[in-house]
Amino acid sequence: MGNRGLTRFKCSVERRQAMKTFLSIGAGPGMGFATAERFAKEGFQVVLAARSVAKTQELAERLTRKGYKADARQVDSSDPKGIAELVAEVEQQHGSIDVLHYNAASARKATLSEQPRDSFNYDLAVNIGGALVAAQAVAPKKEEHGSGAILLTGGGFALAPSADFLSISIGKAGIRALAQGIFEPFRDKGIHVATVTVCTLVSPESKEASAVAEQLWHLYSQPKDAWTFETSYAPAAHEHAA
């Protein structure tokens, strides 16, 4: 490689290193995509991860067609080993994950008598277990850099549990407790942990999805002396939902 080629290579590496990385676990077409696009607009390299490779790749391609940097990964949010491996893979390719967004949820409709035991354990693994593992996995490099954010999609069921949606109610209560529980120790290390408690139904490509994404960006953008662990999104015209 000549001097000119070497210079171009170094510049390319420097640009990749300078670009911040946003990892979405449980990236779907609603809040997940809207949030990823919001951060992509600010110059972030976006990595979308979910169970369906085809659907996740389609979302990533929507972003790349708009000129953003985005790619897709497969992950089962109920699998702790898979989440840890995903984080390690993204860190190896892009360096420290500046923003982790945990958006995975299993919103099963089932009362106490209707909920199979195995499915309940699966729901808990997706709704809260994966968030805990993801936070553990990204923590070391974040602590090393003393910066970044862990953002969690919360839900109104954390505040008003539903007998018909028990597992997601318990999961969203866990998300809120996780955010509040690790907020202070992570703040001391320069890492902002926060959740948006979403108290409305959110459809893909809706104003609600965009509003939640904006709140997550606002949390990331807060100056350290104004950090909060939670904001709520609850349009008056909508009923509580996860």
238 within domain boundaries: no
CB within 8 A of 140, min separation 6: which ones? none
15 within domain boundaries: no
Q: State which residues form the domain around 196.
A: 21-233
8 within domain boundaries: no
pLDDT in tens, 156-189: 999 999 999 999 999 999 999 999 999 999 999 9
241 within domain boundaries: no
Q: State in Å, rounded, how far the first CA of the chain is from the last one.
A: 55
pLDDT in tens, 41-89: 999 999 999 999 999 999 999 999 999 999 999 999 999 999 999 999 9
pLDDT in tens, 108-158: 998 898 888 889 999 999 999 999 999 999 999 999 999 999 999 999 999
Q: What does the DSSP 8-state code read for residue 237? A: T
Angle at 20 between CA 18 and CA 105, to 5 degrees: 165
119 within domain boundaries: yes
The predicted structure's pLDDT at residue 4: 54
3 within domain boundaries: no
92: tokens are: 């190896």
Residue 15 has pLDDT above 90, yes or no: no
**Burial call 43-76: b when 16+ CB within 10 Å, e when fewer:** ebbbbbbbbeeeebbebbebbeeeebbbbbbebb
Mean pLDDT for 11-16 is: 46
The predicted structure's pLDDT at residue 1: 53
The predicted structure's pLDDT at residue 175: 98
Compute the distance between CA of residue 60 and CA of residue 89 in angstroms, rounded to an integer: 17
Compute the distance between CA of residue 115 and CA of residue 127 in angstroms, rounded to an integer: 15
222: tokens are: 């807060």
210 within domain boundaries: yes
54 within domain boundaries: yes
Report how many domains make up the chain.
1
Residue 38 has pLDDT above 50, yes or no: yes
CA atoms within 13 A on the CB side of 142: 26
Q: What is the CATH number of the domain that holds 174?
A: 3.40.50.720
Q: How confident is the model at residue 214 (pLDDT cuts 50, 70, 90)?
A: very high
